[in-house]
Structure 1
Amino acid sequence: MSTKIFVNLPVKYLERSKEFFTKLGYSFDPQFSDENARCLVISDNIYAMLLVEPFFKTFTHRQIADSSVSVEAILTLSADSREQVDELVDRALASGGSPAAETQDHGYMYGRSFLDPDGHHWEVMWMDMSAAQEQG
């Protein structure tokens, strides 16, 4: 069984979010995109559905978290190297994102983070798996 994951995220301005993630090098699946949603392709099996807040609200009776004062989730992306972590986070910051936390550098594991324009918390992590196994 091949499982895909679709993370649904509320956004205030759909085009702003599309422009931000396009600048980070991601693409969108037009089949699952319209005036209410953009399907952000993260990998072959991972997608983020960026949904305008009124449309997002049709899927829940609960309040949408105010990401300027609370965290609803931390989304973590893996990277192939420390350099790739820096490259992606630097692009995010230059494209309208803001820092989310201090850099984490444990030698065998390295990560940085950013908040997208809607305040969603993204981590980008690299780990040397052979060194991590020695640590554990």
Structure 2
Amino acid sequence: MTITTFINLPVRDLASAAEFFRSIGFAGAQPSPDRTSLMLNLNDTTQLILHIDSAFAEYTQVAITDTEASREVIVGLAAGSRERVDELVDRAVAAGGNAVGPGQDVGGLYMRGFRDLDGHQWSFVHQAG
């Protein structure tokens, strides 16, 4: 069974957020009919849906998390090698994101994190086989 993942996030500026994620390898930018959201593809089974803050709040019916004060989720994505982890995080930082400390190697799992333009925390990981 194939399961598709949809990551939904609120953003302050839809165009800037889309450009940020395209710069680290997400493809496309299908806008919703009302242009308050857009979908980017990471691969065939993982999509990122960005929503302007007001649309996300209306959809969820709760306040948006203040990413300066708390974390609701850390999005982790697998990469094919340690070098690819570093490359992707370096691209995110070059596009305006913020690195979250140095890379960590824990029991054969290498991980590096960053925060996107809206403060959402991401990590790329590689598990040595």
- Structure 1 residue 74: deviation in Å? 0.3
- Structure 1 residue 28: deviation in Å? 2.3
Provide the secondary structure at the position in 2 that maps to 1:84: helix
The equivalent of 1:133 in structure 2 is none
The equivalent of 2:19 in structure 1 is 19
- Structure 1 residue 27: deviation in Å? 0.8
The equivalent of 1:127 in structure 2 is 127
Q: Deviations over 1:78-102 (max 9, x none)?
A: 0000000010000100110001244
| Change over 3 Å in CA distance of 1:87–1:33 after alignment to 2 | farther
TM-score, length-scaled by structure 2: 0.91
Q: Which amino acid in the other structure matches residue 109 of structure 1?
A: L
The equivalent of 2:55 in structure 1 is 55
Specify every segment of 5 or more residues in structure 2 that has no aligned partner in the other structure, as ranges. none
Distance in 1 of aligned mates of 2:117 and 2:52: 13
Specify every segment of 5 or more residues in structure 1 that has no aligned partner in the other structure, as ranges. 130-136
Provide the secondary structure at the position in 2 that maps to 1:3: coil
Q: Is the 8 A contact 1:28 1:38 kept in 2?
A: no
Q: Which amino acid in the other structure matches residue 91 of structure 1?
A: R
Distance in 2 of aligned mates of 1:119 and 1:33: 26
| Change over 3 Å in CA distance of 1:33–1:79 after alignment to 2 | farther
Q: Is the 8 A contact 1:97 1:114 kept in 2?
A: yes
Q: Is the 8 A contact 2:11 2:118 kept in 1?
A: yes
Provide the secondary structure at the position in 2 that maps to 1:17: helix
TM-score, length-scaled by structure 1: 0.87
Q: Which moved more, 1:83-92 or 1:27-36?
A: 27-36
Identical residues among aligned pairs (%): 38
Q: Is the 8 A contact 1:65 1:71 kept in 2?
A: yes
| Change over 3 Å in CA distance of 1:34–1:45 after alignment to 2 | farther
Provide the secondary structure at the position in 2 that maps to 1:80: coil
Q: Which amino acid in the other structure matches residue 39 of structure 1?
A: M
Distance in 2 of aligned mates of 1:84 and 1:107: 18
- Structure 1 residue 33: deviation in Å? 7.0
Q: Which moved more, 1:78-87 or 1:27-36?
A: 27-36
